[in-house]
Amino acid sequence: MIKYYLRDLIDKKVLDELENVVGPDRIIYDKCELLTYECDAQTFFKKPPDVVVFPISTEEVSKIVNICIKYKIPFLPRGAGTALCGSAVAIRGGVMLALTRMNKVLETDLENQRVTVEPYVTANELTSLLSKYGFFYAPDPASYIVSSIGGNIAHNAGGNHCIKYGVTTNHVVGLEVVLPNGEVIELGGKALDPPGYDLVGLMVGSEGTLGIITKAILRILRRPPASAAILAIFDSIVDASNTVSEVISSGITPAAIEFMDQLAIIAVESGARACGLPKDAAAILLFEVEGYEEELDMLGRRIIEICEKNNSKSVKMAKDIDGIARLMAGRKAAFGSMGNLAPAFVVDDGTILRSKLPEVMQKIKEKSEESGLKIANVFHAGEGNLHPLILYDPRKKEEAEKALKVGLDILRLCLIIGGTITGEHGVGIEKIELMPIQYTAEELRKMAIIKLIFDPHILCNPGKIIPEKFFMEVNKHE
């Protein structure tokens, strides 16, 4: 039932039709150039698309999708290509719609705290545009200086600050989507809480499998008057983990609680984003608190007390904007800094209950010793959203496969103790085999039914999220 024509080679006729839509300058089909599109920020799963097109309008996106449907060619959207799960890899070949030319902020409506953007605007760009009015866009994944908001929405991205502000879905109120049948649909709108089924919510986190986002209406927030960062240094990972739980249960909601272990610190401190973290510490916690100037000291003092109680050997508070920004930038660059330690890594982002942190950290350490692979840990401790970075050398085939396996094992562990397999990076190709463990077969069949309503031929970003066999089961039932 799933049939892909022209799987590896798109014939001249299709190319001509695509070229008619975008013109000769906005299409790539040279074999060498296509190689650069064969993977996203993970480099394990690779497959170049057959052609990349660069639409500049919703209309063009819709026309391209229609051509794909006509010839039954798989297609998928790509933003900055910073996904960590292979969701932007054309695993079945076909047409890739690179949305890099759709990068305008269309409307800034401060009165109603809404902005309307095209998909390739970055969160950083949006926030710096809004900062002069005293507003900001809250979701800030570590890649926020380069990743596209379209991609952030497709993966329901989190970030350092989601403990306080929630994840991307809490900030998307409306979408314009080109559905897999070529139809353009507007979902939601500027107003909050529309009745009926939450179709905007359905699109958020769908990893480009239910359509291509061409416009988004986002909620923006007023920037808090002041903020401060607290850096706590620990000699033991368990102490640091316990501190996280105790801070939260004491009733404080920091804007961020970030955890970095020694290996992650060394990676950052060896690169261009070094921010003065101690390389000899077993772990550090980085807190950010926000509010009025007057309350920051009080909040800070309480956090410092808790850190000290849990054997932190040094706790410092920074209130200058540059100091805070430097620390946060160092944390955000942690993934990118891994190149200082190894040529590649697998990162998994299982989410667990905070209270289980010490236990899981211990298990990860055991996994590392068992497999002989180095594992760096840097994560959003506030939400219990882990990011073990398993380092490997891609030139050694067995090592790469081992790294992937260790990653999946850690995720299984997260599932066993009541967590999930991904907090923010998405399922993509990487975690698809864990979906039947995360969900019951019935849940997955329901998801397959939803996918088929939008995309009956399974052309829109195929091979992601839902294992193929569930589509077949659905079809058998019919």
Partner 1 sequence: MEGYELGEYIEKEILDRLVLACIHCGFCLQSCPTYRVLGYEPDSPRGRLYLIKSLLENRVGPEESVLEHLYKCIVCRGCETACPSGIKYGFIMDSMRSQISKSHEFSFIKKLELSIGAKFLISHIDFLRFIMSVIRLSQKIGIDRLVRHMPKPLNELDYLMPSLPTSKIHYSKIPEIIRPDSKRRARVGFLHGCLMEAALPWVNRAMIHVLLANGYEVITPRNQTCCGAAPLHEGFIEYAKKLARRNIDIFERADVDYVLSSASGCVATLKMYDELLKNDSKYENKAKEFKNKVKDFSELFFENGFDKNFGELDLKVTFHDSCSLAHAQKITKQPRIILNSIPGLKLVEMKDSDLCCGAGGLNWILYPEITRETLGMKLQNAKATNASVVLVSNIPCYLNISRGVRRLKLDMKVAHYVELLDEAYRKAKAYSEKTE
CB 294, min distance to partner 1, A: 30
Query: One-letter amino acid identity for 231?
Result: L
- For residue 394, the tally of other CB atoms under 10 A from its CB is 14
How far the first Cα of the chain sits from its last, in Å, is 13
Tell me how far apart the alpha carbons of residues 86 and 158 are, in angstroms, rounded to a whole number. 17
The answer to the question of residue 1 lying near partner 1 (CB under 8 A) is: no
d(CA 386, CA 380): 7
- C-alpha 311/C-alpha 291 separation (Å) is 27
Long-range contacts of 440-443 (CB under 8 A, 24+ apart): 441/470, 441/473
Q: Does residue 373 bind partner 1 (CB under 8 A)?
A: no
The site for partner 1, by CB under 8 A, has a size of 47
Q: Please tell me whether residue 470 binds partner 1 under the rule CB under 8 A.
A: no
Shortest reach from residue 151's CB to partner 1, in Å: 11
8 Å CB contact between 74 and 93: yes
Task: Report in angstroms how near the CB of residue 43 gets to partner 1 at its nearest.
Answer: 5
Closer residue to partner 1 (CB): 338 or 448: 338
Alpha helix stretches (DSSP H) within 40-188:
58-71, 123-131, 149-154, 162-165
Q: How far is the CB of 310 from partner 1 (least distance, A)?
A: 30
Taken in order 428, 434, 435, 436, the sign of the CA dihedral is: positive
Indicate whether 108 belongs to the interface with partner 1 (CB under 8 A): no
The piece of 1-9, 156-164, 275-283, 333-341 that touches partner 1 (CB under 8 A) is 333-341
Residue whose CB is less far from partner 1, 192 or 272: 272
CB of 276 to partner 1, least distance (A): 15
Quote the least distance from Cβ 78 to partner 1, whole Å: 9
**Residue 98 binds partner 1 (CB under 8 A):** yes
**Closest CB 394 distance from partner 1, rounded Å:** 8
CB atoms within 10 A of CB 25: 8
Closer residue to partner 1 in complex, CB, 162/342: 342
Q: Does residue 81 bind partner 1 (CB under 8 A)?
A: yes
Instruction: Kindly tell me the number of DSSP H helices and DSSP E strands found in the chain.
Output: 17, 18
The residue type of 230 is I
Q: Does 270 bind partner 1 (CB under 8 A)?
A: yes
Told to check if 344 binds partner 1 by CB under 8 A, we report yes
Among the candidate windows 9-17, 189-197, 331-339, 414-422, which touches partner 1 by CB under 8 A? 331-339
What is the C-alpha radius of gyration for the chain, rounded to an integer number of angstroms? 22
**Beta-carbon count within 10 A of 273 CB:** 17
Position 146 contacts partner 1 (CB under 8 A): yes
CA distance 138 to 126: 10
**Per CB under 8 A, 343 contacts partner 1:** yes
Nearer to partner 1, 268 or 448 (CB): 268
Q: Which of 218, 230, 255, 334 binds partner 1 (CB under 8 A)?
A: 334
Q: Which stretch in 57-65, 143-151, 401-409, 420-428 sits in contact with partner 1 by CB under 8 A? A: 143-151
User: Is the Cβ of residue 82 or residue 168 nearer to partner 1 in the bound state?
Assistant: 82
268 binds partner 1 (CB under 8 A): yes
338 binds partner 1 (CB under 8 A): yes
Residues 329 and 286 sit within 8 Å (Cβ to Cβ): no
Q: What angle do CA 47, 427, 205 make, to 5 degrees?
A: 110
Residue 123 near partner 1 by CB under 8 A? no
List the one residue out of 459, 344, 450 whose CA is nearest residue 395.
344
Indicate whether 242 belongs to the interface with partner 1 (CB under 8 A): no
Nearer to partner 1, 1 or 272 (CB): 272
Binding of partner 1 by 145 (CB under 8 A)? yes
Is 100 one of the binding residues for partner 1 (CB under 8 A)?
Answer: yes
Rounded to whole angstroms, the Cα distance separating 16 from 35 reads 21
**Helix 397-416 and helix 357-371, axial crossing angle in degrees, nearest 10:** 160
Name which of residues 272 to 291 contact partner 1 (CB under 8 A).
Answer: 272-273
By beta-carbon proximity to partner 1, the closer residue of 32 and 192 is 32
List, in order, residues 6 or more apart from 446 with CB less than 8 Å away. none
Note whether 471 binds partner 1 by CB under 8 A. Answer: no
The C-alpha atoms of residue 203 and residue 217 are separated, in whole angstroms, by: 13
Q: Which stretch binds partner 1 (CB under 8 A): 197-205, 265-273, 365-373, 413-421?
A: 265-273
Q: Give strand ranges (E) for 58-151.
A: 75-78, 95-98, 105-109, 114-117, 135-136
Question: Which residues 6-65 are close enough to bind partner 1 by CB under 8 A?
Answer: 28, 30-33, 35-37, 39-43, 54
**In the complex, minimum distance from the CB of residue 455 to partner 1, in angstroms, rounded to a whole number:** 26
Positions in the binding site for partner 1 (CB under 8 A): 28, 30-33, 35-37, 39-43, 54, 80-82, 98, 100-101, 103, 120, 122, 124-125, 128, 143, 145-147, 268, 270-273, 333-340, 342-345
